Structure 1
Amino acid sequence: MIEPKAPHLSNIELWRKWKEQKDIEAKKQLIELYLPLVDYVTNRMAIGLPKNVSKDDLASNGAMGLIDAIEKFDYQRGLQFETYASWRIRGAMIDGLRQGDWVPRSVREKAKKIEEAYQQLEQQYLRSVTDAEISSYLNISERDFQTMVQEIAVTTVVSLEDPIREEESETRMSMLIDEKAKNPDQTVQQFFLKETLVKGIERLTEKERIVISLFYYEELSLSEIAEVMSLSPSRISQLHSKAILRLRGALDKQKNQLMQN
C-alpha cells in the first residue's frame, strides 16, 4: 500500500481543518496527498481487463471515488484512510465499468452458472470439488469448462463489488466496510463473513490459495505470479477466476443463511 507523503501529524491537522472547519484548502491538500492511491488502484484494476477499457477512464472515476472517501471519512475513529479510500476508489471505478456495460450479459450468465455449481457441489460434498465434477454438473466437457473460465476471467476482477443478488443493491464488499459505528447485527455479520471466507479459502486447491495469497496479500500482478509459479499468465488467470467463483458461492450461501435467520 502507498504511504502518505506527509508525516502523520500533518495528516491529522489537515483532517481536523477539513472536517471541523470545512477548510477547502485542507481538502485540496488531502486530495493531492492521497492521489497516488488512484494510480495504485488503477494499475491493479487494469490487470486482466479488456484492452478497450481505458486506464484514463478508470483513473478519472477513481479520482471521484477518492473525493467521495475524503468527504465521508471519519478520521476520529482511528481507521486507516488508505484502506477505506482504496475500496471507495475501486468502487467508483467499478460503477464506471458497469455504466459502460463492458461485460456481455452472456459472460455474466456463464459466471453465475459456475458460481452456483461450486456453491451446490461444495455444500453437498463439504470439500473442494474438481474441474471434472463441475464439468459433469454443468453437463459440458472439461475443455469447454476451461474455456468458460477463461472467458469470464475479467469478471472476477471486480467480483466483490457485484450485487449479492441482481435485485439487491447490497454488495459483498458492503458487508466488509461500515461507514458508521458498528451495531450488534453488523458485528455478527462480519464475524460470520470472516468465518465463511476462512473456510472458503481452506477449500481452495493449493495452487488457487497461492494465487489468492500472492495477488491480494503480496500484491503481485498476475504476470508476476506466473513467473513465481512457473505457469502461463492465462493459467494463473484461470486459477484466480476459479478461486473467486468458489468464494463468491460461499458468500452467497452465507448471505442466504443470514437472511433466513
Structure 2
Amino acid sequence: MAELAHLWKQYKEHNSKVAMDKLLMEYASLVKYIAGRMAYTLPPSVDKGDLEGAGVMGLIKAVETFDITRDIKFETYASHKIRGAILDELRALDWVPRSVRKKNRDLQRVYAHLTEDLGRAPYDDEVCEHLGISPKEYKKLLSEIAPTTILSLEEALPRRGGDSKDLKLIDTIEDVDADNPLSVLGYKEVKRILKESIQALPEKEKLVVALYHFEELTLKEIGVVLNISESRVSQIHSKTILKLRSQILTRMEQ
C-alpha cells in the first residue's frame, strides 16, 4: 500500500512517466478481468485482444484523471472507465446484427407496454400471449437478444430534475462513488426505484442479478451455483434486465 501511495504521489505531483508505467502494470490485471468477463458473453467473432486494447486506453484515462484526494478506491473508479472504453469499442465494431437489435427494441417496448398496463412486471405467459408465441419460442428470443443486454445497461434513461448528464442503468446497479457528476436527486430516485424493482423480482431472477452484477460471477459460474444451464442463466439475465428497465422507465415517466 505504501509503495502504491508513493507511485500515485510521484505521478500526480511530478508527472513521472516511470510512476505512470508502474501504475499501469499494477492494474493491468483489472483490464484482463473486465475484458474477459465481457467477452465471455460475446460471439467468437469479437476479438478479446481488441477489447483488452480498448480497456487499456480506459485504464490510462482512469490513471490520468483519478483524484487521489477523494475517498474512493481506484479500482472502482477505473472499472467504469475500462468498461466504458470497451463498450465504445463494441459500438464501433457494430457486432450486433440489426435484426437482433430490432428484436431487442421490440421486446423492450412489449415489456414497457405490459408494465404500464399491469402496474407490475409481466409474467412470462403474459409476454408470450401478447407476442403470440410459445414459451419455447420466447426462451429462444431471450437467448438471441442476450448479447444486447450488455449495451442496454449503458443506454441513457430519461433525465429528471434538471440532470445535466444522462443517467444509465449500469450506474444504478453498480456501486458508483458519491461524487458522480449525475444529479444527486435523479440518482437517488432511480436507485430507490431499482432497489424496489429488484426486491419484487422472483427469487431466481433476483439471485442472478446479485451474482452477476454484485458478486461478479460469470454466467457459467452462476449456472453451477443454481444448477441450471449457462444458456438458461443468459435467458434469465436478459429477461431481468428488460424488466428492470421497463419498471424504471414506466415509473420515471409517471
| TM-score normalised by L of structure 1 | 0.85
Residue 100 of structure 1 is matched in structure 2 by 93
Q: Is 1:57 the equivalent of 2:54?
A: no
- In 2, are the aligned partners of 1:39 and 1:59 still within 8 Å (CA)? yes
Residue 161 of structure 2 is matched in structure 1 by none
Q: Is 1:21 the equivalent of 2:17?
A: no
Residue 166 of structure 2 is matched in structure 1 by 170
Q: 1:119 aligns with which of 97, 112, 119?
A: 112
Instruction: Output the CA distance in 2 between the equivalents of 1:131 and 1:64.
Output: 41
Q: Where do 1:9-158 residues align within 5 Å?
A: 9-158=2-151
CA deviations on 1:55-97 (whole Å, 9 max, x unpaired) are: 1111111001100111111111111110111111111111111
Q: Is 1:233 the equivalent of 2:230?
A: yes
Instruction: Output the CA distance in 2 between the equivalents of 1:84 and 1:253.
Output: 30
- In 2, are the aligned partners of 1:128 and 1:205 still within 8 Å (CA)? no
Q: Is 1:209 the equivalent of 2:202?
A: no
Give the SS at the match of 1:49: coil
* 2:74 alignment partner AA: F
CA deviations on 1:163-188 (whole Å, 9 max, x unpaired) are: 448xxx936158559899567x7110
Structure 1's 72 and 253: CA in aligned 2 closer, same or farther, altered over 3 A?
A: farther
- In 1, are the aligned partners of 2:156 and 2:166 still within 8 Å (CA)? yes
Question: Could you list the runs of 5+ residues in structure 1 that have no partner in the other structure?
Answer: 1-6
Give the SS at the match of 2:76: helix
Structure 1's 133 and 197: CA in aligned 2 closer, same or farther, altered over 3 A?
A: same
Question: Could you list the runs of 5+ residues in structure 2 that have no partner in the other structure?
Answer: 159-164
* 1:29 alignment partner AA: K
Instruction: Output the CA distance in 2 between the equivalents of 1:211 and 1:174.
Output: 15
Give the SS at the match of 1:42: helix
Instruction: Output the CA distance in 2 between the equivalents of 1:118 and 1:202.
Output: 18
* 1:158 alignment partner AA: L
Q: 1:251 aligns with which of 231, 245, 248?
A: 248
Residue 190 of structure 2 is matched in structure 1 by 193
Structure 1's 124 and 151: CA in aligned 2 closer, same or farther, altered over 3 A?
A: same
* TM-superposed deviation, 1:255: 5.3
Structure 1's 174 and 149: CA in aligned 2 closer, same or farther, altered over 3 A?
A: closer
Structure 1 stretch 43-52 or stretch 20-29: which is displaced more?
20-29
Regions of 4+ moved over 4 Å: 173-183, 254-257
Instruction: Output the CA distance in 1 between the equivalents of 2:224 and 2:37.
Output: 17
- In 2, are the aligned partners of 1:61 and 1:89 still within 8 Å (CA)? yes
CA deviations on 1:104-145 (whole Å, 9 max, x unpaired) are: 122112112222222232233233321111122234333332
* 1:172 alignment partner AA: K
Instruction: Output the CA distance in 2 between the equivalents of 1:211 and 1:204.
Output: 10
Instruction: Output the CA distance in 1 between the equivalents of 2:7 and 2:190.
Output: 34
**How many residue pairs were aligned?**
246
**Identity %, equivalent residues:** 39
Give the SS at the match of 1:75: coil
Instruction: Output the CA distance in 2 between the equivalents of 1:180 and 1:153.
Output: 31
